[in-house]
Structure 1
Amino acid sequence: MSTLPQSQGVQGTRPATRSRLDRCLHHPAFLPFIGFIVLFVLMIFINDNFLTANNLTNVARQVSINAIIAVGMTCAILSGGIDLSVGPVMALSGTVAAGLMVAGVPVPLAMLAGLAVGAAFGAINGSCIAWLRMPPIIVTLATMGIARGLGLIYTGGYPISGLPDAFSWLGRGTLFGIQVPILVMLLVYLLAWLVLNHMPFGRHLYSVGGNVEAARLSGIQVPRVRLLVYVISGFTAALAGLVLSSRLMSGQPNAGEGFELDAIAAVVLGGAAIAGGRGAIIGTLVGAMMLGVLNNGLNLMGVSPYVQNVIKGAIILAAIWMSSMKRR
């Protein structure tokens, strides 16, 4: 008689254990994480200089900018849209902040102005998409050109140098022995994880991306969700622009070329469905790290940048194909 409750207790734990295991195996970031581990181990065997503290720190610092942009891109793709304007918005925000600092504006106020520029472009994108019902790819393609043009007009096509030394801390400083860009990246991902997994906005975002009509019928304010999505995307692009400007100690009007493609690649490699409604912010971080490790490993091996583009393009196509097959 005494063994029966114990037997039932053991059997009772098996479904829960199996359920947790199933959730882990079916998590959108599971396969990307396995792919990252395989790639990481492969790079260790290919190049002896890969697994060094300096190189790994360099990889994380280089990844941080793309990873921050990819947070906003994740929100856009989860909603069923896309944001092609993040690269030029990043450059414009960085140059505006740099120009204000050179003009004598205090560093914190100049940084806030740069972030406001990014959020404003996001609000323009979101308004056109949410209320004017314009396609996201067309809207953000147009604002991509506008942001790039404004940046070149503002700077005259030349970098803005002579930034105050206090600004360098954001891109070159360290805190608790960790470089500040890496800490900024981790903080952004922590906040994004909390918002997407533990706040109503996150649930609404997944609902809009999964089935916009069902979301509307359930009472979700779809236009407001879409507006906030693109404001977040513009804000994270601006934050990445500030980090880059601080790291270079100059405002570069031509910065961010091709960054939108890297951000999309990070999101797709992280297991998000390009059609929206499925994905995880942790997967995006894994995807960004995967791209960073791949770029670093190929550079260490002396692979031509042209060949690197071919390899990355093939990997992105494979990831999209796997995502489509899994969705079907």
Structure 2
Amino acid sequence: MIMTTLAQSAHDPWWRSPVVRKNAIVFVFALFLIVGTAVSRGRLVEPGNLSNILFQSSVIGVLALGEALVMLTGGIDLSIVALMVASAIFMGGAGSELQQQMSMSNALPYVGFLPAIAIAMIGAAGVGLINGLMVVVLRIPAFIATLVMALVLSGVSMLFTGGAPIYNPDAFFADLGATRIFTLPVPVYIFLVLTAVIGVLLARSKLGVVLYALGGNSRAARLSGIAVERTTVAIYTLSGLLSGLAGFLFLARTGSVAPTSGDNFLLGTIAAVVVGGVSLAGGKGSIRNAFVGVLFLATLSNFLNILLVSPHIQDAISGVVIILAIAINARLDPDA
């Protein structure tokens, strides 16, 4: 068996080698940086621009972490952006006295700055828990369950704001977004630390083994003694918690939030995860490559802005890049 595997590996083309298959998105991203730097005459990799790319990536990056975990189990969470927005609305509206005074349409009660954050984070985890229970207990397909939750959350956000934006959240959010450590905004460090922690957990702990086994074959995972239902609910709960944290970072990045904020975030998040090589079927992919996928799409968008490309054309180019990335991943790993 070993000799057969070695013989087969020896005859595989270079682009099917384990190193290339595991690091394809890294190589593509590195090549893009080289070409983009040359075309933009160095503007793409200027320290200030790189800092801006990371800052812009922090919100979608945190959403992508939660989405990647769910997708590794073979599921999907379409409620992440609606939950992010609802969390940000509660933190900004219920945690700011100034917002209460300035807005006539805000139906949120004032509970205080820290209580608003705590309630929003706990509520976000609770929504994720409900998503998981709908999938596991009610056996509703994840696509339907989380889509319905997204619609409910969007309606609640509209109800409590009257459709008006939250323009005056507590000054802490703007201050946090403006605070830099070694030229990088604080939200970037939050994103990087979360990525590192989750990446290590998946690569070095039992959690990673469980998730990959669950996504690869849930029936086999159950027969091997893995608590499939409990693990699924826990992952959806964690995804909800990360969505709440993304709402916190969204306020720090923009200083305001509206019920319609983040309209393009969902597709961008899922695209970044898929471009990073996480399989929609579950069981394949890594947090590291999902992280690179987030940076790749954010850098591509920034590069097109530098070239003053029309937003409509940008969408078309991004769509082509996403399709190519998925096709390349499928070509490198036919079993993905």
Shared fold, TM over 0.5: yes
**Cα shift readout 1:157-202 (whole Å, capped 9, x = no counterpart):** 1112322222323322223543111101011101211321222222
- Return the offset for 1:283: 0.3
**Residue aligning to 1:212:** 218
The CA deviation string for residues 116-143 of structure 1, in whole angstroms up to 9 with x for no partner, is 2221221111111112111111111111
Residue aligned with 2:86, SS? helix
CA distance in 1, matches of 2:236, 2:111: 28
Cα deviation, 1:136-160, whole Å, max 9, x if unaligned, reads 1111111111111111111111112
Match of 2:305 in 1: 299
- Report the 3-state secondary structure (helix = DSSP H, G, I; strand = E; otherwise coil) of the residue aligned with 2:262: coil
* Matched residue SS, 1:158: coil
Q: For residue 173 of structure 1, what is the aligned residue in structure 2?
A: 179
Structure 2 residues not aligned, in runs of 5+: 1-16, 98-109
- 2:65 counterpart (68, 71, 74): 71
Distance 2:201 2:124 in 1: 20
What does 1:227-266 align with in structure 2 at a 5 Å threshold? 227-266=233-272
Normalised by the length of structure 1, the TM-score is 0.88
Name whichever of 97-106 and 304-313 sits farther off.
97-106
* 2: CA distance, partners of 1:33 / 1:310: 23
Cα deviation for residue 286 of structure 1 reads 0.3
Compared CA separation, residues 171 and 117, structure 1 to 2 (3 A): farther
Shift of 1:47: 1.0
Verify the 8 A CA contact 2:40 2:307 in the aligned structure 1: yes
Letter in 1 for 2:87: S
Q: What residue identity is the alignment partner of 1:197?
A: A
Aligned to 1:11: none
Aligned residues, how many? 305
**1:247-270 Cα distance to aligned partner (Å, 9 max, x none):** 222232211212111111111111
Contact 2:51 / 2:183 at 8 angstroms: preserved in 1? no
Aligned partners of 1:199, 1:239: CA distance in 2, in Å? 23
Checking the alignment, whether the CA contact within 8 Å between 2:276 and 2:285 is kept in structure 1 is yes
Aligned to 2:104: none
- Cα deviation digits, residues 27-74 of structure 1 (max 9, x gap): 2xx000001001111111111222212111111100111111100010
**Shift, 1:316, TM fit:** 1.7
CA distance in 1, matches of 2:48, 2:196: 25
Q: 1:71/1:133 Cα in 2 relative to 1: closer, same or farther (>3 Å)?
A: same
Structure 1 residue 125 corresponds to structure 2 residue 131:
yes
Structure 1 residues 1-328: aligned runs within 5 Å: 24-27=19-22, 30-48=23-41, 49-103=43-97, 104-325=110-331, 326-328=333-335
CA distance in 2, matches of 1:24, 1:236: 31
Greater mean alpha carbon deviation, residues 164-173 or residues 126-135: 164-173
Task: Tell me, in whole angstroms, the C-alpha distance in 2 between the residues paired with 1:199 and 1:44.
Answer: 38
List alignment gaps of at least 5 residues for structure 1.
Answer: 1-21
Identical positions, percent = 33
Matched residue SS, 2:95: helix
